[in-house]
């Protein structure tokens, strides 16, 4: 655990640098700068707590989002309860969370064919999509799911910059830095 913490603190420093760069007017970073989250999410407990944190923050936005049905809001709320139960007692079954995950995917299951027959999924609500990725951190036991959750939480689009870490990403990057500072308590 001590080796993880040393490595994670170095990762936190990289995250802080992203935050500082955005605060000082850097206008665009490739989203791959967040790959440092893979290192931070190597530890399953850290990954699960990080995912729950992102989902709790996103749930606040879901509560006021008029485009999300009441039923879907209650499903999201239930996912948070299941995450908390799994964090406090990791012997519990993930079956209920898997069911919720499938419900969230079904909520946004429109697809279309892209080039070479590749199926492209249309995401109508990014908040629900972020919750999906948070749940994925519990269902998939790899650090990549933590990176993807953080990525989708902080990535924004603006026609002036494109997609990636842009000035609009700053509050979300701050949230991520805040979580890791509190979790690692360096």
- Chunk the chain into consecutive blocks of 10 residues (it has 186) and report each block's average pLDDT, rounded to whole numbers: 85 94 84 93 95 97 92 95 92 90 92 88 91 96 94 90 88 97 89
Q: What distance lies between CA 150 and its chain's CA centroid?
A: 4
* pTM score, whole prediction: 0.92
- CA dist., res. 159 & res. 153, Å (int): 19
Quote the pLDDT of residue 11: 92
User: Could you tell me the CA-to-CA distances from 136 to 5, 62, 94, 130 in Å, in that order?
Assistant: 23, 18, 11, 10
Q: Are 92 and 85 in contact (CB under 8 A)?
A: yes
**DSSP readout, 80-98?**
HHHHHHHHH-TTS-SHHHH
Quote the pLDDT of residue 1: 62
Distance between start and end Cα atoms, the chain: 14
- Scan for tokens 């700068």, then name that residue: 33
User: Could you tell me the CA-to-CA distances from 12 to 6, 21, 38, 93 in Å, in that order?
Assistant: 10, 14, 11, 31
């Amino acid at each position: 655990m001590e080796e993880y913490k040393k490595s994670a603190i170095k990762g936190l420093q990289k995250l802080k640098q992203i935050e500082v760069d955005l605060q000082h007017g850097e206008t665009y970073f490739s989203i791959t700068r967040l790959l440092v989250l893979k290192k931070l999410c190597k530890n399953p407990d850290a990954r699960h707590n990080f995912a729950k944190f992102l989902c709790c923050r996103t749930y606040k936005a879901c509560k006021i989002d008029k485009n999300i049905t009441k039923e879907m809001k209650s499903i999201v709320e239930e996912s948070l309860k299941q995450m908390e139960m799994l964090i406090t007692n990791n012997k519990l079954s993930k079956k209920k969370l898997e069911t919720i995950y499938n419900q969230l995917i079904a909520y946004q299951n429109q697809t279309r064919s892209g080039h070479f027959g590749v199926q492209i999924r249309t995401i109508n609500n990014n908040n629900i999509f972020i919750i999906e990725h948070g749940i994925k951190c519990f269902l998939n036991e790899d650090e990549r799911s933590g990176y993807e959750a953080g990525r989708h939480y902080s990535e924004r689009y603006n026609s002036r910059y494109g997609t990636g870490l842009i000035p609009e990403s700053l509050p979300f990057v701050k949230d991520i830095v805040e979580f890791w500072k509190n979790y690692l308590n360096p």
